[in-house]
Amino acid sequence: MPDLHYEEPSLAELYDLDSGWSIDRDFYLALAGAAPQRILDLGCGTGLLCDAYAALGHSVTGADPAKAMLDVARQKHNGEKIEWVLSSAQDFRSPKRFDLIIMTGHAFQVFLDDSDILAAFATMRQHLAPGGLIAFESRNPAIDWPARWNGESDLTTGGQTVRQSRQVTKIAGKRIAFETRYALTERTLVSSSELLFLSRTDIEDRLKASGLRAEQVYGDWHAQPFDAAVSDEMIFIVRAV
């Protein structure tokens, strides 16, 4: 089944309720600094960060493979100032070069094989301006994510409460598959997802093969050092070799 979370318009509209502004967005926003930057957000989703960057005067390009997400993104307050591109990270091409390239919301983990990972890194390397910075994150595979994910929660929008339930359906090697059900008033929608959980070493090896290197790897959004045993996040701050 397709991942309706990104393709179904009614779910795209709910995305900001489930994944709204949070400490990780503060982290990425601060990376741009005060001086105007050229910023590329690969997998921009509904454009929360793009909108925030544009509000600070940065030149922003947001790319996403889901039309429904970009339709929501264009309605953001600064949406008309932003270049929106319907494209995957692997296929994105532009004559522009960027001072900051980001991939947030654990979007890196949707790449399930090396061909996609290396294609995404090649896009980043090709579009990075001299001295530019790349930042993205991936979940630490040492954490018991299924135990955290299985469960239910409610989202409220327009006076309507939507019951969201998530259930892990399969664990195979470094991949975890899960279903998220959204009980809307008139129907129930099911989004099927699969993510890849690579180790820090796995990711750094692929960065090296792509002409990139991890300058820093943080374990949380307060920029604490990554601890393989307990850190939830692996936040990569990357430069060109």
Cα four-point dihedral sign 114, 70, 20, 56: positive
Do 42 and 110 share a domain, yes or no? yes
Q: Which amino acid, 198?
A: L
Do 73 and 125 share a domain, yes or no? yes
Please report, for the domain that includes residue 234, its CATH number.
3.40.50.150
When pLDDT is averaged across residues 142-161 and rounded to a whole number, the result is: 83
Do 90 and 40 share a domain, yes or no? yes
Q: Which whole-number Å values give the CA distances from 20 to 14, 45, 205, in the listed order? A: 10, 11, 32
Residue 58 has pLDDT above 90, yes or no: yes
Residue 9 has pLDDT above 90, yes or no: no
Domain that holds residue 184: 145-196
Q: Which whole-number Å values give the CA distances from 233 to 33, 52, 86, 220, 223, in the listed order? A: 23, 23, 28, 6, 10
* 59-64, strands of its sheet edge to edge: 83-86, 59-64, 38-42, 98-103, 128-139, 233-240, 212-218
Residue ending a domain, choose from 163, 181, 196: 196
Do 8 and 73 share a domain, yes or no? yes
Do 178 and 60 share a domain, yes or no? no
Do 53 and 135 share a domain, yes or no? yes
Question: Contact at 8 Å (CB) between 49 and 68?
Answer: no
Do 105 and 215 share a domain, yes or no? yes
Lowest mean pLDDT among 4-8, 14-18, 196-200, 225-229: 4-8
Do 181 and 231 share a domain, yes or no? no
Give pLDDT, residue 6. Answer: 56
Question: Contact at 8 Å (CB) between 42 and 103?
Answer: yes
Residue 63 has pLDDT above 80, yes or no: yes
Residue 3 has pLDDT above 60, yes or no: no
Do 64 and 161 share a domain, yes or no? no
| pLDDT band at residue 1 using 50, 70 and 90 as cut-offs | very low
Question: Contact at 8 Å (CB) between 53 and 31?
Answer: no
When pLDDT is averaged across residues 96-107 and rounded to a whole number, the result is: 97
Beta-sheet strands, E only, within the chain: 38-42, 59-64, 83-86, 98-103, 128-139, 151-157, 160-172, 175-183, 188-196, 212-218, 233-240
> What's the pLDDT tens digit per position in 176-212?
999 988 887 777 888 889 999 999 999 999 999 999 9
Please report, for the domain that includes residue 186, its CATH number.
2.20.130
Give pLDDT, residue 100. Answer: 98
Token pair of 83 as six digits: 């270049």
pLDDT > 70: percent of the chain: 90
Residue 4 has pLDDT above 50, yes or no: no
Q: Which amino acid, 7?
A: E
When pLDDT is averaged across residues 74-86 and rounded to a whole number, the result is: 96
Give pLDDT, residue 191. Answer: 84
Burial code of 5-33, b = ≥16 C-beta within 10 A, e = fewer?
A: bbebeebbbbbbeebeeeebbebbbebbe
Do 149 and 120 share a domain, yes or no? no
Do 205 and 224 share a domain, yes or no? yes
End-to-end CA distance of the chain: 39
- Structurally, how many domains does the chain consist of? 2
Do 79 and 58 share a domain, yes or no? yes
